[in-house]
Chain A
Amino acid sequence: MALTLLHRHALEDHILGFETSANPNHLSVARRPVIFSVLAHAGQEQAVGLALKAAPDIAPRFCGPAEWLAVSLTAGSETVAGHLSEISGASVVDQSDGKVLMAISGPSVRQILAKCVGVDLHPQAFAPGHSANMLFGHVAVNLARTGPDAFEIITPRSFAGSVYEDLMEMGREFALTASFSGG
């Protein structure tokens, strides 16, 4: 019996059929991002942090002392795993299916996020490249600033539907639209 297994995105039922053309404020949900947890062992925190920053195709997201998410929207899982295996002093585990990555951008993005998270997202306090774990409503997420008006939210898969619905509700005032991106 040969198995052909379809991969299902956690937000399949939330987004499909509701897609319209993107407004200035838009939420783009990555279909198959590659996301690994990276844990630095004692004494290796700084070295692992630097190595992650230097690794090709990978954007590190800070989660806490000695813990990151390694995110890639360009490279495949095997490639990322390969790069990460070269970092000594770190343990890594694939979380690509356990996380949902949403990129939100637009002129009102800070006003929308101000309804969701309690962290100060002023560029002086949270510059492009910054990321942190924080509460989004009641759900712990990782939020990263990827540009002046662009952020990435990584949520646990089981909460993704709730986070997505809340985000769209908060974005109503600013005509936030949503769609999948990537194959």
Chain B
Amino acid sequence: MSAYRLDAGGLVNRANPLTFTFDGKSYTGFDGDTLASALIANDQMLMGRSFKYHRPRGPVTSGSAEPNALMTIGSGARSEPNVRATVAELYNGLTAVSQNRWPSLAFDLGAVNGLLSPFLGAGFYYKTFMWPAMLWEKLYEPLIRRAAGLGKLTMEADPDRYEKAWAHCDLLVVGSGPAGLMAALSAARAGARVLIADESARFGGSLLSENVVIGGQAASDYAAGLVEELASFPNVTMMPRTTVFGWYDDMVFGAVERVQKHVETPSPDLPVECVWRIVAKRAILASGAEERPLVFGGNDRPGVMTANAARTYLNRYGVAAGSKVAVFTNGGSGYRTAGDLSARGVEVTAIIDARATSTDPAPYGVRVIHGGAVVATRGRNRIDALVAERAGFEEEIACDALAMAGGWSPIVHLMCQRGAKPVWSDAAQAFLAPDVGSGFVAAGSAGCADSIAACLRDGASKAAAFSTELGFAAYAANIPEVEGEYDPDFAPLWYVPGAKDKAFVDFQNDVHVSDLGLAQREGFRHIEHTKRYTTSGMATDQGKLGNVATIGIVAAMRGVSPAEIGTTTFRPFYTPVSMGALAGTSRAEHAAPVRTSPLYGWAKKNGATFVESGLWYRSSWFARDGEKTWRDSVDREVRNVRENAGLCDVSTLGKIEIFGTGAAEFLNRVYSNAFLKLPVGKARYGLMLREDGMVFDDGTTSRLSENHYVMTTTTTYATEVMAHLEFASQTFWPHLDVRFVSSSDQWAQMSLAGPKARIILARIVEDDISDAAMPFLGAKVVTLKGGLKARLFRISFSGELAYELAVPAGYGEAVADAIMQAGREDGICAYGVEALNVLRIEKGFVTHAELEGRTTPDDLGYGKMMAMTKPDFIGKRLSTRFGLTAADRLQLVGLKPVETDKEFMAGAHLLKDGAAATLAGDQGFVSSACYSPTLGHTIGLGLLKSGRERIGEKITVWDGLRGTEVAAEVCLPVFVDPQNTKQHL
């Protein structure tokens, strides 16, 4: 037996044993364990296989930077790959399996890659698998992907819920070690709203791992006292199991809370994870420091871990990493681990200190080899000895665990995510937090404080400064005495020369020292290039352990300071965040808001098929029994509107109420055509241009009273037009008295079209709607039989006698039902947007298929709607540009196939008759096309070069996508009732 659980000690709850499995084998741990601490306690140090060489690996840390101990937790749809065993909380029934090995973790055939390693150096796949190129995608890449790898995703749908939420605070404290707890407490006592987050389930950070006495209490008891006091404040929000992963603009932080990752069966009423967006006035980064591994031959053998990890397993979890532990150190941390182990009765075989001398106290009876180094380790799936070297002499020392201490790196990730780079310090031999302004500072060992006492003081004073800044009375914190601290100072040691085996810099990506040398020799010298060429610092751990060593080694190879090499770019996320958490509830029917018309229910019971149009669900056609295709329904609806009448839901059109004495003048300036003299009770079709003279949107505006208008916009542009009006009013003409508000949702609006529209409508309207009382383009408020007030507009988008009736939305369905009832004897039908489209193409009315951002009014044949005599209107100036008035512009024309059984579709290109089917001779395109049931053949609208001069010409409609060429005749863009007699009935 090597690693084992001590009989007593640690912060685990021994009264609550938990059963779990790893690779099918059952184990027991305790409440408070991580999966890694429980496995080590069961002497299962081998936890994974490395990415490339499939080397056996064990945990090298006890926290979130872990590169090796990645496993798949859970089963079926809930299986989650690449979970770090060092942070996964143990729970009863947890099932974990190892990854990247076959047939088993202890015997992995992929380990043959280690023998092939001379051919698998950095960038090998760029060089080896280049020819023939076609094989890359088909053969090489799948092969490499199978051999190298992390865990596998389940392909089943995630059964769990995720949420997203916002939080707000005066002070955000990231991390709950000595600095974080003291900062939070100090600000909380001052009265500030404090939010403190820690990735662990238990608050306390390093106070849970360090064997010191604070104010006469064990560090963990002292931490518990602070936590208890914090919890008593109503102004404090404590968020355990929460990783603050990103820092964004305006002091918004991203965090993920693991709400139910530590339970066997999650409650369906709670999310398993919640992404928080935390808005903080000030923030303190108290994320601590990461202990660096040392880079020496065989430094990846299971049982080799950081001194801090060995200490944490011992003090926090009551687990000895081995029964004969060796220590390799360049500073005080190694001695502290040796001391703690020794005090708990664990044998320490030797301390190998890279420094020639030191004053750090070794435990009694433990041999210290000063000026020594570890050059190799032995053992198959577990270290069983190391080879120490001093002054040219080598010695094999038996051990079953090796604690390595390579110095400390402040964890400054969050402060570097918005462009600022960490700053190298020769004194600290580390990259330190950059100055990112006064709102966000690092405290404690993240800010390079070198003792627990200093961390407590630093946290308190930085929080006090923020409290005062925010107007709270500063609270003078009482910092107790800390006994039994050690000196964490260290001497730099980037790597140990003379390695007998691979010396790994980045464990997760199997990058070793010689890969870095290769990258430098081959010219990938910039640290960003070195990273990408060697993959050092990539994948799930993003080089949390290895990056500093990579930089130090590259600096040493080049003979410069690490300051000159600099760091790679820091980006969110600090640790991986699941896609589920980022999506939150935005999945399935919650993926996007659904917009429904007040006539949705009416359409549904009339058999509508709906189409998504932006967020709207619009009725597309209304199938009847016996109709086999959508075309059958649409053709019938069109014919029925032309012969009898139809009712269509047009509620989705944008509606804007416009008020003010300046409204007439305002409209006159936003529309290209004249609006100043629109009489009360009349509607007018208007064209709105952009500043550059292109058509922006169209619609009708009606004058309901002297200073009250209602504008309709297209469905798609409702929001844009509202913004356009606001912009014009606020910035161009603030002196005009005009105000507007959207009333799009207030009205259920329906179009009743067809020769029998008036007869039907008269049955439900009290008012006289005869042609004399309600002429074409009339607009007025009417009373329905029974008393309901409604807005009635005589406008037509079909060329038929047509009305648009608007009623308060809640009555929409009832009024539509009443109209259907009233029109039954006259053959009324419901029609959808497909029929609406056919009806308007037959009449040559344009939509955004034609108003596509490149067309002027003149291009569309609406040149006379440019009221150039007006002093000004939006788009007037630039409309006169050369090019916008050129005769060879694309102009709107009608198109019909020469042979009437031929079809074409929108998007097809227009070519001269007989021209080769290439874009070289492109003359325009089909903007809209449909089958016209009225004419019995396909018709289209198109934009054709100098189109208006070419009426009668035979051209070719070429659809490259579908491979068709159809001969077509250019015609006027009106196919039905060119004299417009029907709408004036």
Cα A115 to Cα B585 with chains together (Å): 10
Residue A173 is within 8 A (CB to CB) of chain B in the complex? yes
Chain B residues within 8 Å of A115, by CB: 163-166
Q: Which residues A1-25 have CB closer than 8 A to chain B?
A: 1-10, 13
Cα A118 to Cα B42 with chains together (Å): 47
Is B746 a contact partner of A9 (Cβ separation < 8 A)? no
Chain A residues within 8 Å of B593, by CB: 137-139, 159, 162-163, 166
Chain B residues within 8 Å of A40, by CB: 739
- Write the chain B residue with the least CB distance to A139: B593
Cα A3 to Cα B816 with chains together (Å): 12
Contact string against A for B residues 148-192, beta-carbon threshold 8 Å, 1 for contact and 0 otherwise: 000000000000000111111000000000000000000000000
Residue A172 is within 8 A (CB to CB) of chain B in the complex? yes
Q: How many A-B residue pairs have CB under 8 A?
A: 149
Residue B249 is within 8 A (CB to CB) of chain A in the complex? no
Is B269 a contact partner of A173 (Cβ separation < 8 A)? yes
Contact string against B for A residues 79-116, beta-carbon threshold 8 Å, 1 for contact and 0 otherwise: 00000000000010111111100000000000000110
Residue A130 is within 8 A (CB to CB) of chain B in the complex? no
Is A91 a contact partner of B659 (Cβ separation < 8 A)? yes
Chain B residues within 8 Å of A95, by CB: 743, 745-746
Is B810 a contact partner of A166 (Cβ separation < 8 A)? no
- Write the chain A residue with the least CB distance to B766: A3
Q: A91-B659, A95-B746, A139-B593 are in contact. Are A114 and B165 (CB under 8 A)?
A: yes
Residue B595 is within 8 A (CB to CB) of chain A in the complex? yes
Residue B601 is within 8 A (CB to CB) of chain A in the complex? yes
Chain B residues within 8 Å of A96, by CB: 746, 808
Chain A residues within 8 Å of B164, by CB: 115
Residue B741 is within 8 A (CB to CB) of chain A in the complex? yes
Is A8 a contact partner of B810 (Cβ separation < 8 A)? yes
- Write the chain B residue with the least CB distance to A92: B659
Contact among A93, A122, A166 for B585, CB-based, below 8 A: A166
Cα A91 to Cα B163 with chains together (Å): 41
Is B745 a contact partner of A156 (Cβ separation < 8 A)? yes
Q: A1-B785, A41-B737 are in contact. Are A157 and B708 (CB under 8 A)?
A: no
Residue B547 is within 8 A (CB to CB) of chain A in the complex? no
- Write the chain B residue with the least CB distance to A115: B165
Chain A residues within 8 Å of B746, by CB: 93-98, 157
Q: Which residues B264-315 have CB closer than 8 A to chain A?
A: 269-271, 277, 279
Chain B residues within 8 Å of A166, by CB: 585, 590, 593
Q: A98-B747, A99-B745, A122-B168 are in contact. Are A1 and B822 (CB under 8 A)?
A: yes
Contact string against B for A residues 54-86, beta-carbon threshold 8 Å, 1 for contact and 0 otherwise: 000000000000110000000000000000000
Residue A161 is within 8 A (CB to CB) of chain B in the complex? yes
- Write the chain A residue with the least CB distance to B592: A138
Is A39 a contact partner of B279 (Cβ separation < 8 A)? no
Contact string against B for A residues 124-159, beta-carbon threshold 8 Å, 1 for contact and 0 otherwise: 110000000000011100000000000000001111
Chain B residues within 8 Å of A156, by CB: 744-745
Cα A98 to Cα B168 with chains together (Å): 32
Contact string against A for B residues 704-743, beta-carbon threshold 8 Å, 1 for contact and 0 otherwise: 0001100000000000000000000000001101011101
- Write the chain A residue with the least CB distance to B746: A98
Is B810 a contact partner of A7 (Cβ separation < 8 A)? yes
Residue B8 is within 8 A (CB to CB) of chain A in the complex? no
> How many Å from the CB of A119 to the closest CB on chain B?
8
Contact among B601, B740, B745, B822 for A98, CB-based, below 8 A: B745
Chain B residues within 8 Å of A98, by CB: 743-747, 809
Residue B784 is within 8 A (CB to CB) of chain A in the complex? yes
Chain A residues within 8 Å of B784, by CB: 3, 5
Is A10 a contact partner of B809 (Cβ separation < 8 A)? yes
- Write the chain B residue with the least CB distance to A66: B739
Cα A8 to Cα B811 with chains together (Å): 6
Residue B221 is within 8 A (CB to CB) of chain A in the complex? no
- Write the chain B residue with the least CB distance to A137: B593
> How many Å from the CB of A16 to the closest CB on chain B?
13
Residue B798 is within 8 A (CB to CB) of chain A in the complex? no
Cα A96 to Cα B270 with chains together (Å): 35
Chain A residues within 8 Å of B735, by CB: 42
Residue B99 is within 8 A (CB to CB) of chain A in the complex? no
Residue B6 is within 8 A (CB to CB) of chain A in the complex? no
> How many Å from the CB of A44 to the closest CB on chain B?
10
Residue B193 is within 8 A (CB to CB) of chain A in the complex? yes
> How many Å from the CB of B387 to the closest CB on chain A?
57
Chain A residues within 8 Å of B788, by CB: 3, 5
Is A158 a contact partner of B595 (Cβ separation < 8 A)? yes
Cα A125 to Cα B281 with chains together (Å): 13
Is B193 a contact partner of A122 (Cβ separation < 8 A)? yes
Is A2 a contact partner of B785 (Cβ separation < 8 A)? yes
Q: A3-B784, A125-B168 are in contact. Are A8 and B814 (CB under 8 A)?
A: yes
Residue A28 is within 8 A (CB to CB) of chain B in the complex? no
> How many Å from the CB of B524 to the closest CB on chain A?
43
> How many Å from the CB of A31 to the closest CB on chain B?
10
Is A169 a contact partner of B590 (Cβ separation < 8 A)? yes
Residue A51 is within 8 A (CB to CB) of chain B in the complex? no
Cα A137 to Cα B585 with chains together (Å): 10
Cα A182 to Cα B860 with chains together (Å): 53
Residue B50 is within 8 A (CB to CB) of chain A in the complex? no
Residue B763 is within 8 A (CB to CB) of chain A in the complex? yes
> How many Å from the CB of A43 to the closest CB on chain B?
9
Cα A120 to Cα B811 with chains together (Å): 37
> How many Å from the CB of B739 to the closest CB on chain A?
4
Is A3 a contact partner of B764 (Cβ separation < 8 A)? yes
Cα A162 to Cα B600 with chains together (Å): 14
- Write the chain A residue with the least CB distance to B741: A37
> How many Å from the CB of B815 to the closest CB on chain A?
6
> How many Å from the CB of B661 to the closest CB on chain A?
8
Is B818 a contact partner of A3 (Cβ separation < 8 A)? yes
Is B763 a contact partner of A1 (Cβ separation < 8 A)? yes
Q: List 24 A-B contacts (CB under 8 A).
A: A1-B763, A1-B785, A3-B764, A7-B814, A8-B598, A8-B601, A8-B810, A8-B812, A10-B596, A13-B601, A39-B739, A39-B741, A41-B660, A97-B745, A97-B746, A97-B810, A98-B747, A118-B279, A124-B193, A158-B598, A158-B744, A158-B745, A163-B593, A169-B590
Tell me the B residues contacting A by CB distance below 8 Å: 163-168, 193, 269-271, 277, 279, 585, 589-590, 592-598, 601, 616, 657, 659-660, 707-708, 734-735, 737, 739-741, 743-747, 763-764, 784-786, 788, 808-815, 818, 822
Tell me the A residues contacting B by CB distance below 8 Å: 1-10, 13, 37, 39-42, 66-67, 91, 93-99, 114-115, 117-120, 122, 124-125, 137-139, 156-159, 161-163, 165-166, 169-170, 172-173, 175
Besides A5-B815, A138-B592, 9 more A-B contacts (Cβ < 8 Å) are A3-B764, A5-B818, A66-B739, A97-B809, A115-B164, A157-B746, A158-B745, A159-B593, A162-B594
7 closest A-B pairs by CB: A98-B746, A91-B659, A98-B745, A3-B786, A97-B808, A120-B168, A162-B593
